[in-house]
Structure 1
């Protein structure tokens, strides 16, 4: 029997993934790799099971949308060495859920929420000012009562976008995307479902490297960054998957 391969260091793995995907590498595992952050890990595992999603992927996407920098990383959100989970979470600031409470949007992902998950209990609808090139517009977001409610809300939206991807690729006659392709397109659909559908159709396949955009503001590049970051999070062995 040959020698067991030595496990690569995080730095080695980070460099490999950066080269493989050709993107800047984010270390989102750093938001969940300490004992003080265990409450976050437990919630992610619970919610991921509910929506049938890989927990390390759900963690990666939600941290990248703001929860990491704006909540998990702040010392003020810890008490007695543990992350506080009962603070109110802003869907607009922490999660990028600008349209969560829209009467047109909510029905599309409500089926992925737990039974009994309702406005007034888990969240409060709020209008937020969002800066656009043409000026400021108000968007119907939400404030969530606590971290678990917020992550359930976010996961429902992501799951809905993933299901849109599945529905559309079947319409185009594509079959059997691999894990990286599912991860990439799910995030692309989360960012801009109309653009994602057009890109999926025009590429004629799942290829996640076919777009030649290089700007980090391009959705294609953001999606690749999330795939790479997710694979890096898995190297931490924090989550069950």
Structure 2
């Protein structure tokens, strides 16, 4: 399992893969939105688009204030700022606050000679704080979350496959968080041809991503030990897999520790996510068994999300529960920020939960 991109090999391999046209969305009735489309639409309408529009207005305001502080085009920038304030507050649904915020803006412009003083900087912070978006509030609440970046890089058809691979004991929002943290976001961007430093994909680029071509689990899903999990003696992973593991092609790789691992080349994204889900469900079952065996309380949903990823990312033999049996609670590791990758998974999932964009 990994939380960094293994893209150099994968990009070259994808260029050789045969991609067939296909989209689970086509299975939906005419005029009906798929679940993936619903989530993407809600994320954009309620969070991503308002955040981008307000950011554009705030960028202009910051630039205008910078010009004002230097004594340049003061009257012009004063009026330009007023227009942007009205625009941003309108997007945020806070037009009623316009009078107070406009007064703050006028005060900053009038007192520009005091720019740099502690009192001026405090007023400036309060002024720009008026444009905090719902997405920014969540990002501040969950600083380790990657959900914003993921949602910008989520095609509806990929999310439809996530829903198809999800199960009652591994819901779609959790599988999405784990899969995107393991590299599914890189799969999307690589299929489009976007480098790590490139900007956000366009809607047309997202729609172009195929979900029917083969996918390397080692590169994009973190299924490094797929076959080891599937044929394990303790809770075999194949018990959670809806198809015969023999359908999957063995893909032997040398991981970051120099160890040879038996990963998988899956025939499609659906098969790949089902394989990852089977591994996650197996690791979750192992965690629950260990928690019971060592006398821990029944885990909360947050603890379940966190510890599932500890067992998936760090490994099933991490030994933490046995080592601290009777001395620590399951939430202690979370509270202390231990296992940073699992904290990322937890905070990303919490942010998605608070956004309430996934159907319950």
TM-score range normalised by the length of the shorter chain: 0.7 to 0.9
What is residue 162 of structure 2 aligned with on the other side? Answer: 44
CA contact (8 A) 1:169 1:200 kept: no
Is the alpha carbon distance of 1:238 and 1:194 closer, same or farther for their aligned partners in structure 2, counting shifts above 3 Å? same
Secondary structure at the aligned position of 1:125 is classed as strand
Q: Deviations over 1:64-97 (max 9, x none)?
A: 01111x2122314987924310121111111121
Q: Is the 8 A contact 1:168 1:197 kept in 2?
A: yes
Q: Which residue of 1 aligns with 2:239?
A: 111
1:49-64 alignment runs, 5 A limit = 49=167, 52-64=169-181
CA contact (8 A) 1:56 1:239 kept: yes
1:153-207 superposed Cα distances (whole Å, 9 cap, x missing partner): 0000000111111111111222322111111111111122111444563753212
Higher helix share: 2
User: Is this contact kept in 2: 1:184–1:208, CA < 8 A?
Assistant: no
Question: Quick one: distance in 2 between partners of 1:79 and 1:211?
Answer: 39
Give the greater-gyration-radius structure (CA). Answer: 2
Residues 165-184 of structure 1: pairs in structure 2 closer than 5 A: 165-184=287-306
Cα pair distance change 1:148/1:210, threshold 3 Å: closer
SS state at 2:246 partner: coil
Q: 2-side partners of 1:94 and 1:182: how far apart?
A: 23
CA displacement, residues 116-141 of structure 1 (integer Å, 9 cap, x when unaligned): 33323xx2112112232xxx332111
Question: Quick one: distance in 1 between partners of 2:246 and 2:334?
Answer: 41
Alignment check: 8 A CA contact 2:306 2:334 kept: no
TM-score in terms of structure 2 length: 0.53
Partner of 1:216: none
Equivalent position to 2:284, from 158, 162, 167: 162
Change (3 A) 1:220 1:131: closer
Match runs of 1:158-237 below 5 Å: 158-191=280-313, 192-195=315-318, 196-198=320-322, 201=325, 203-209=327-333, 212=336, 220-237=339-356
Deviations 1:1-39 (A, max 9, x none): xxxxx9x70110110123xxxxx3312x543467x7111
> CA distance change for structure 1 residues 15 and 127 in 2, over 3 Å: closer, same or farther?
same
1: distance between equivalents of 2:350 and 2:291? 24
Cα distance in 2 for residues equivalent to 1:92 and 1:210: 27
SS of 2:227's equivalent?
Answer: coil
- 3-state secondary structure, aligned to 1:72: helix
Change (3 A) 1:199 1:67: farther
If each structure's strand is expressed as a fraction of its own residues, which one has the higher value?
Answer: 1
Runs of 4+ in structure 1 off by over 6 angstroms are 77-80
- Name the CA shift for 1:226/1:66 in 2 (closer, same or farther; >3 Å): same
Assess, with a 3 A threshold, how the Cα gap between structure 1 residues 80 and 112 changes in structure 2: closer, same or farther.
Answer: closer
